Amino acid sequence: MISATGSVPVCEAKPSTLMGRRNISQEIKSDKEIVAENPHVEHGGSYRPKHCVQRGRMKVAVLVAYRSRTEHLQILLNNLHPFLQRQQLDYTIFVAEQSGNATFNRGKLFNTGFQEVNKLSGYSCFVFHDVDLLPENDHNSYFCPTIPTLLASVMDKNQYKPFYDTYFGSEDDDLGERVRTKLGKPGRVPFDIGQYTMIKHGRDSGNPFNPKGQELAKNATQRMETDGLSNVHYTILQSELRPLYTWMLVDLGAPP
C-alpha cells in the first residue's frame, strides 16, 4: 500500500514486526539503559516510523497517571516503548504526576493530561494507561478503533478470568457509564489478546479504597454534564521533555 505522496508506504495494519504474546520483563532498568535499547525514541518519549507513514496519519498519545512509583514507571517504559514500536505507531508517552499528599485522583489526572495534550498539534488517539499494567500481546493494538475500547480485558492477578459485562477498568465504571450514555456500548479487546500483567504491590497509603465507588458509578450519568472534563481545574507546576516521556507535575487543588 503506497501513501498519497507515492514515495513512502503506509504502515501495515498488522506489521511483520509483531511478536504476539511474550513473557513480560519486570527488570528495573535506568533511563540510560532503556534509551540505549530504543535508540529511535526521541527526547520527550516520541517515536515515528521512518520507513512508513502512519495509517490516517494518526498520532497516539499514551497518558500515564502517576505518583511515587518510580520502579513501576521504569518497568512500564521498558516494556511499552518496544511494544509500541513493533506496532509501527506514531506515538508519544505522557506522564501526569500528581503533586502533594492528597488522595490520588487518577481520573482527574487523566482529564488534566487530555486537556494539556489537546493543546498540542495532531494527537487524535488517546490511550489512558495505568503505571502498573503491562500488555502481554502486541497484537493488542494501541491504534485507536472507531469506538472507545477497553484494552485490558483480563489480568494475570485474576487468573485471566473475564470481568463482568459492564466492566470498563478497575476504577473506570463511572467513565464506562458515561461512554454508554453518549456513544453506546464500548468495545473490548478479545480475551486472548487483551491480556495484561499487573506489577505486584500493596495499596498506596495515598490511594485508599473508595467505599462510595459503586454508588458514584450508578449516578455517573446524572453528574456527567457538570462533573468531569467540563469542570476540571488544575495547575501545571512543572513540565519537561525527559528522555523517555513528556512529564508534567500537576497540582489538582484541594480534594472535593
Residue of 151, 182, 183 whose CA lies nearest to 167: 151
User: How much is the pTM?
Assistant: 0.87
In tens, the pLDDT along 150-170 reads 999 999 999 999 887 767 767
Within 8 A by CB and 6+ apart from 243, the residues are 31, 32, 34, 35, 43, 45
Q: 136-153 b/e with 16+ CB inside 10 Å = b? A: bbbbbbbbbeeebbbbbb
- Please give the pLDDT value at position 4: 47
Q: Which three cell numbers stand for residue 94?
A: 505522557
Within 8 A by CB and 6+ apart from 146, the residues are none
* Spatial distance between the Cα atoms of 251 and 237, rounded to a whole number of angstroms: 7
Q: Mean pLDDT, 10 residues at a time, over the chain (256 residues)?
A: 63 93 94 98 96 89 96 98 97 97 91 94 93 97 92 94 76 72 82 95 61 58 64 92 98 81
In DSSP notation, 60-121 reads EEEEEEESS-HHHHHHHHHHHHHHHHHTT-EEEEEEEEE-SSSPP-HHHHHHHHHHHHTTSS
Task: Kindly indicate whether the domain formed by 31-251 is annotated with CATH number 3.90.550.10.
Answer: yes
- Please give the pLDDT value at position 207: 60
Residue of 110, 121, 116, 118 whose CA lies nearest to 64: 110
C-alpha dist (Å) from residue 244 to 46, 64, 92: 8, 12, 9
